[in-house]
Structure 1
């Protein structure tokens, strides 16, 4: 018989001390081909990336979001927030997601994968939805990044509701959007490593 574990409640998480976050000094906004090339050079040194996407939210019943508008990838040291307006930048983001042999770890990635296939025309490879790992370990409900950080680090992951529902299709992202997007990916990678899933140390 499998042991089941409760997912932490919102009330319990609210009592915890905050989890550390990446500041703007460790977040790179990627908008051009040259910026994307530099990002991929640094990302190539790691065996696993934190991964997430953001799309412009929809508020009307029949409104369609043509996201993702942002793809974020993180190593343990930094995070890169790719805007997908520029065709060359978009192509390199797609290339990164389709790169085999690098784990892309995140939470609730089913919709992200579908949107990436539709917009970027690639199948993301070696994607690991961390919710599945927690389910295998006896957690009944989807954990999400907040629950995972609470369980593994006994800390409260801060997510801005205002940033999450902001317009990710804007040409210029705000500092709050950059911090939100980057830390979603970075925290997922922290969780991945804390779960002991790392296949090896980052390459030199």
Structure 2
């Protein structure tokens, strides 16, 4: 049984964790095609996106990065460089491959502004946790409640379109996707899925 909510103070008491495994940064369309081929046989992946923040009223930026976590590695696809290729569209539309994440509706809406597709296979963690009595939502709070550790959000508002992503950005982005698949696995282990 999980607590319904958690305070910021309680989160700050928890140990800080981040993804420590292999990370691939994808900048070319042909690399993206190989990644999509590689993950096609996965059953579940963690999923997230990042967008360069807009600081002026009326300003809008497209999705810059798609993060995909498998059980063994994380792929950071710089869609501002690769574009939304046919292979990525096929992945986003694949109903057999579960893409688990938090606030996916916004991610999907923003991705569809780049190129329209029919989203399939997306599973919203916020929806799952509500059904088991967790009232909190958002990646940081859910990670604290379900996994018992704290994740950093310090790189969230950074330039995701910079020529080279910083180590801090790479760690942040990889951790976000990894935490999604880890929470899914934990809920599955406890019999909630």
Using structure 2 for the length normalisation, give the TM-score: 0.88
Q: Alpha-carbon deviations, 1:161-186, whole Å to 9, x = none?
A: xx211111223222221211111011
Q: Which residue of 1 is the match for residue 180 of structure 2?
A: 188
Tell me if 1:112 matches 2:107.
yes
Give the distance between the partners of 2:141 and 2:53, measured in 1 at CA.
23
Q: Structure 1: how far apart are the matches of 2:142 and 2:149?
A: 9
Residue 189 of structure 1 and its aligned partner are, at CA, apart by: 0.5
Q: Give unmatched runs, 5+ long, in structure 1.
A: 198-204
1:47 deviation in Å?
0.1
Answering whether residue 117 of structure 2 is matched by residue 125 of structure 1, we say no
**What residue in structure 2 maps to residue 165 of structure 1?**
157
* Change over 3 Å in CA distance of 1:4–1:12 after alignment to 2: closer
Match of 1:51 among 44, 47, 63: 47
TM-score, length-normalised on structure 1?
0.84
- The Cα of 1:126 is off from its aligned counterpart by 1.1
Give aligned pairs, total: 189
Alpha-carbon distance in 2 for matches of 1:11, 1:32: 42
Relative distance call for 1:169 and 1:82 in structure 2 (3 A) is: same
